Structure 1
Amino acid sequence: MASPTKIWITPENTGVFSTANLSLASARKVSEVLQHDMENHHLYLNEIQFHDHIVHFMLTIWALGASPETIQLQYEREDKRQRPAYPRDESTIASFSDKSEFMKYMFQEEHYSNYLAFFQREIAAKGVPAVMKEYLFSGDKLAESVLSRMFAGLVHPIIHLGFGIEFQQPAIVAQAFAQASVHQDYLGDQFFNPASVTAAASPNSAKSIMQIMKEMRTDDLVRNGSAHGDTDAFGDGILTRARERVIHYCSKWSVPEDKIPEKLAEMINTAIYWTATAQNPEKELKLDFFFIHAVNLSIFFKAFMDLPYIETAAKSRLIEMKGRMDLLIWASRKMPEPNDDDILNYPIHLGWPEVFSKSYLHPSDDGHLAKFVRTVAFAEQLSRPLETKLRSDSLPVSGDMWLKIGNMAVDTAGVIYWDIWVRGAGFSEAWTKFGPRR
C-alpha cells in the first residue's frame, strides 16, 4: 500500500489518462524503480539545477503501457545521470515545525532531503488533504510562498505534485513539497501577486488566452522584453524589461468559479495550440522545449480540480495562475506567430498506440516527449464534448488536429538529446542549427 515513505503503484492507479490493460508486472517495476530513485537521488542531477525527471518519466510511460523491460531500460539510463541524495539532519528536520525556521532554510538545495523527511512525517500524521490545505491554500505567509515556488524551476515542482495527486502517491506529494521548498520564490512578488491585484481592479474580464496573446503580439515593449541568451528568461529577461506590461496583459486571464470546467479545457487546449504552431516557416518542424512544459503541466489540473477537499475559490485561483504562467512562458520566448497550416497539413501515419510507444522508446529523451503526447491525447477527450459549446478561440485545437500533433511530436523529436527540441521558438538564433523545410 502506498504511504508517505513507500511508492506503490497498482493497475488501478490509472490516473486521468492511461491506456487499457495496464499490467501488474509493469506496476511492480515502476514501484521498484521509483522507490530506488526516492531513496538514493537528489532533486537535481547536476550543479546547474537540471531536474531529476525520473518520477515524471516512469509514471508517464507506465500510464502509456510500457513493459517492465522498457521501464527498467529507461530507468537505468536515467539512474546513471543522477546525483546522490544529501544526508538528513534530524535537528534541522525537527526545527521545521516552527514555520519561521522552515522559511530560513528555503531555496537551499542541500536541505531537500530534510524537507522531504519533514513532509513525509507531516503527511503520515495529518494526511495529504490536510497538508495540501495547510501548506498550499491556507493563505499564510508560508503557504503563499510554497504556492509561488511550485511554479518555479519551469513549473517542475507543481508537475511533480500533479503526479503525486493523479496517481495517489503520498510519497511523491511529499517530494513535490520538498522540491518547492528549495526553489527560489520571486514569481510571487514580481508576477503572481501584482497580476492578482491588477485583475481585482478590473474584474470580470472575459478575454480568452488567444485574445490576450493577440493583444500582446502588437505591443513592441513586450515583444522586445526578451532576448536570446537571457540567463533567466523571467527574472533577467521579460520581468526586467517589460514587467508592468506583461502583468497588465496576464491579469486579463480570469477564471470565474462557475466556469472552471470551461476554463480548464481552454487552458489545456490553448497551450497545445500555441506550442504546436510555434514554428519557423523556413526551418524543419520542432516543438519548443520551454513551451512543452506548459502543456505537460496542464494534464494535472484535471486531477487538482477533482479534489473534493480543495475549495472552489482555490481551484479558480490555481487555473488563473497556470494561465498567467503560460502567457509569461510564451512571452519570454518572443511570442512566435502561430501557423495553423503546420498542424492542418501534417500527415497522420501513426495511431495513438504507435505514437505512445514511439514516445516512450525514444533513446535519449527523459520523458518530456511521452508527457507531451499523453497530455495531447487526454486533451482530446476533455475538449470533444465542449467543441460545440465554446468559441473557436477558446478551443483552437479540434477534429483530427490532436492526432496530427501527436504524430508531429514523435516525428520531429531528434534522436540526440540536444536536437529533440528548439529552445526559444520566437528567436531566429534558436533555429540556426536546424535544417530547412522540405
Structure 2
Amino acid sequence: MFARPRPPFSQIIKGARKSQVFVNLLFIPPFDRRLFALKPHTIRFQSTYTKNLLNMATSNTIHLTPDDTGVFKFGSQDSETAKKTSQLLQENHDKHHIFFNNTGFHNHIVHHLLTLYGLGAPASVIERQYKLNASYQRPVVLSKNQAPVDMSIPDNFHNNLGKQMYYHDFLVFWQREIESKGWKDVLKERVFAGDSKADDMLGRMFAGFLHPLIHLGFGIEFNQPAIIAEALAQASVHDLWITKYLLDVEKKAQPGNKTIPQLLDEIRDDKKLSTAAEWDDGNKIRDGILARAPDEMMNYASQWTVEKGELEAKTAQMISSAVYFAAAAQRPPKQVKFDFYYMHCVNSSIFFTSFNKQDFLSEAQKVRLLEWKGRFDLTMYASRRSPELLLEEISGYVPKLLEAGDAEWSGLFQRLFEFEDDGHAVKLGRAVAHAEVVSQGYEDQDWAKIKSFMWLKIGNMVADSVEDTGDTWARSVGFDEAWKDYVDRPRQVHL
C-alpha cells in the first residue's frame, strides 16, 4: 500500500505526463519499488528537466563526475572512469550488506573505489579491484524471509539499533530522510545537534574502529548522498559503548595546551595504563583499557582540547600525530609493518579537511568532532600496549626502490593501485600524502614530529611494507606477540 495514490504503471511509462510522474516516483519517498524491475531501455523521457534530475547524485543513486576527485587533488579523472566507478558503486549499494560476515567485518568497497578514483586510477584498475572484493560480500538483505521493518516508527528505530540484520531497513529509512530534508539537514539534526539522540548517532560513528565515520567522510568528500545514507545505516547497526566513554571524557575536559605527542609520551610512561590491555582481550579498548584503567585513560584523553580559533591548527596536529604514532611504532630488527588499528586513525584523519569546510556545521560542532577524534586516537594508542615511538625508523629509512619516480608519490600510488587487498593500503598512502600537505606551515611546532623529507619516507614504508612477506598488517604492535611471526629485516632499511 502506497502512502499516496499511484497512477497505473502503464500510464507512467507510456502515457501523458510520464516524465514528471516518473521523477516523483523515483525521488519523492516512499519510493515505488516497481521501478527497479524495469530494464534500462524500457524508460523514455520527454523533458530535459527529467533527464537532468536522473543524471545527479541522490539518496539512492550514485553519480560521480570528473570533478568529484576529493580533497587531495593528485590525479585527474575522465567521464568514462566516472561512469564506470558510479556503476560499480551503485551495484555495491544495491546488492551488498555493509558487513561481509556475522563477526562484523566491514565492506570496504566504497572506500577502496573512491580512493582509487580520487588518485586518478583508470577504470580498468577500479573494476578489477571491485571484482576482487565483491566476490565475498553478503546480500544487502541477509534473509529472503526477513520482513521489512519501518524504521520511521520510533520504537522500531530505537529497538533495532546495533543489530546488523536491519542494515537495509535503516538504509531505506535514511534514504527517505535525506530525500525529504537534504543530507545536510539530516546530519545537522540527527548526528550533530548535541541532544541525546544525536549524540547516540555521533558516538556510533566512532564504533567499529571508526568505519562509520570513514564512510561518512567519503560520502561528504565526494558529494554522494547515497553513501551518506550508507554511513548513517552503518552507524545504526554498530554498538554504543564507545559513546559513553567519549561523553564521559568530554565532561571531564578542561581547557589546556597539551599536545597529542606530549600525551602519547605520558600514556606510555603510565605503567598501569600502558599495560592495561592484555593480548587475549577481545576488544582491547573496551575489555582492556576501559575495564582496567578507565580513570587513567579519561584523565589523559580529557587533556586534549581545542579552543576558539584553534580549529585549523589542531586539525593539522591531529592528522600529523596520527601518522607519527602509526609510522614510528616499529620493532627493529623485525620487518617494517604498520599496525592495523593505528592505520585506521590515519585513514580517517583525511576527512577532517572536508568536515571543516562544511557550512552547515558550526565551529563549535567542528571543534567537538575533532576533540572526539583526538581523544579516540589517544585511546587507540594506549590499547595496543603503548609501543615506543622511534622517529629514527622513519628519518633513516631506505626505500626498497630507489629508481627515479618509483619512490616518489606518483610511483608509490601506482604500486598501491596494483596491490590486491580491500583498500586499506592505498587509503593509507593517500592519507599520508594528504597529511604532508595539511602539515605545511606547522613544521616549526613542537608537536610536528614528522617533517619535510620524512613524509615521503613514510609513503615508501607503506608501499614497501605491504609488498613485503608476512601478514600485510601487524596487529597490536605494543605486544611481543604481534611480531612473533615476522622475520628480521633481510636488507638494510636504514642509512
Band of TM-score, shorter chain: over 0.9
* Deviations, residues 97-152 of structure 1 (Å, cap 9, x unaligned): 34443111101111100000111111001001100111111122221111000000
Q: In 2, Cα distance between the equivalents of 1:420 and 1:216?
A: 27
Q: One-letter code of the match for 2:415?
A: K
SS of the counterpart of 1:290? Answer: helix
- Written as runs of structure 1 = structure 2, the 5 A alignment for 1:238-253 is 238-253=289-304
Instruction: Please tell me whether the aligned partners of residues 360 and 367 of structure 1 are also in contact (alpha carbons under 8 angstroms).
Output: no
Q: In 2, Cα distance between the equivalents of 1:423 and 1:61?
A: 25
- Written as runs of structure 1 = structure 2, the 5 A alignment for 1:159-170 is 159-170=214-225
Which residue of the partner structure matches residue 85 of structure 1? 140
Q: One-letter code of the match for 1:164?
A: G
* Deviations, residues 153-174 of structure 1 (Å, cap 9, x unaligned): 0100000000000000000000
- Written as runs of structure 1 = structure 2, the 5 A alignment for 1:181-220 is 181-189=236-244, 191-199=245-253, 203-220=254-271
What are structure 1's unaligned runs of at least 5 residues?
A: none
Per the TM alignment, residue 67 of structure 1 is displaced from its structure 2 partner at its CA by 1.0
Same amino acid, percent of matched pairs? 40
- Written as runs of structure 1 = structure 2, the 5 A alignment for 1:274-353 is 274-348=325-399, 349=402, 350-353=407-410
Which residue of the partner structure matches residue 26 of structure 1? 81
* Deviations, residues 70-116 of structure 1 (Å, cap 9, x unaligned): 111110010101011117988622xx334443111101111100000
Instruction: Please tell me whether the aligned partners of residues 69 and 76 of structure 2 are also in contact (alpha carbons under 8 angstroms).
Output: no
* Deviations, residues 296-346 of structure 1 (Å, cap 9, x unaligned): 000001100100010111100000000001011111100111111111111
Which residue of the partner structure matches residue 399 of structure 1? 452
Q: In 1, Cα distance between the equivalents of 2:286 and 2:273?
A: 14
SS of the counterpart of 1:436? Answer: coil
Q: In 1, Cα distance between the equivalents of 2:438 and 2:93?
A: 32
Of 419, 426, 429, the match for 2:471: 419
Per the TM alignment, residue 215 of structure 1 is displaced from its structure 2 partner at its CA by 1.0
SS of the counterpart of 1:92? Answer: coil
RMSD over aligned Cα atoms: 1.5
Q: One-letter code of the match for 1:212?
A: L
Q: In 2, Cα distance between the equivalents of 1:126 and 1:259?
A: 32
Per the TM alignment, residue 384 of structure 1 is displaced from its structure 2 partner at its CA by 1.0
Instruction: Please tell me whether the aligned partners of residues 112 and 178 of structure 1 are also in contact (alpha carbons under 8 angstroms).
Output: yes
Q: In 1, Cα distance between the equivalents of 2:60 and 2:394?
A: 44
Q: In 2, Cα distance between the equivalents of 1:20 and 1:186?
A: 40
- TM-score, normalising length: structure 1: 0.95
Q: In 2, Cα distance between the equivalents of 1:35 and 1:257?
A: 41
Q: In 1, Cα distance between the equivalents of 2:154 and 2:376?
A: 27
- Written as runs of structure 1 = structure 2, the 5 A alignment for 1:141-160 is 141-160=196-215
Of 303, 309, 314, the match for 1:263: 314
* Deviations, residues 18-76 of structure 1 (Å, cap 9, x unaligned): 32321222111110110000100011111211100000000001111111111111100
Instruction: Please tell me whether the aligned partners of residues 103 and 142 of structure 1 are also in contact (alpha carbons under 8 angstroms).
Output: no
Instruction: Select the structure with the greater relative contact order (CA < 8 A; seq sep ≥ 6).
Output: 1
- TM-score, normalising length: structure 2: 0.84
Which residue of the partner structure matches residue 278 of structure 2? 227
* Deviations, residues 170-227 of structure 1 (Å, cap 9, x unaligned): 00000000000000000122x101101110xxx2210000111111111111012111
Per the TM alignment, residue 259 of structure 1 is displaced from its structure 2 partner at its CA by 0.2
Q: In 2, Cα distance between the equivalents of 1:18 and 1:434?
A: 36
Instruction: Please tell me whether the aligned partners of residues 107 and 184 of structure 1 are also in contact (alpha carbons under 8 angstroms).
Output: yes
Q: In 1, Cα distance between the equivalents of 2:71 and 2:395?
A: 27
Larger radius of gyration: 2
Q: In 2, Cα distance between the equivalents of 1:77 and 1:125?
A: 36
Q: One-letter code of the match for 2:201?
A: V
Instruction: Please tell me whether the aligned partners of residues 9 and 30 of structure 1 are also in contact (alpha carbons under 8 angstroms).
Output: yes
Which residue of the partner structure matches residue 432 of structure 1? 484
Spell out structure 1 runs of 4+ moving beyond 4 A.
87-91
Which residue of the partner structure matches residue 27 of structure 2? none
Q: 1:206 to 1:357 in 2, by over 3 A?
A: same
Of 398, 414, 418, the match for 1:357: 414
What are structure 2's unaligned runs of at least 5 residues?
A: 1-55, 491-495
Instruction: Please tell me whether the aligned partners of residues 283 and 434 of structure 1 are also in contact (alpha carbons under 8 angstroms).
Output: yes
Per the TM alignment, residue 424 of structure 1 is displaced from its structure 2 partner at its CA by 0.8
Aligned length: 427
Residue 387 in structure 1 maps to residue 438 in structure 2: no
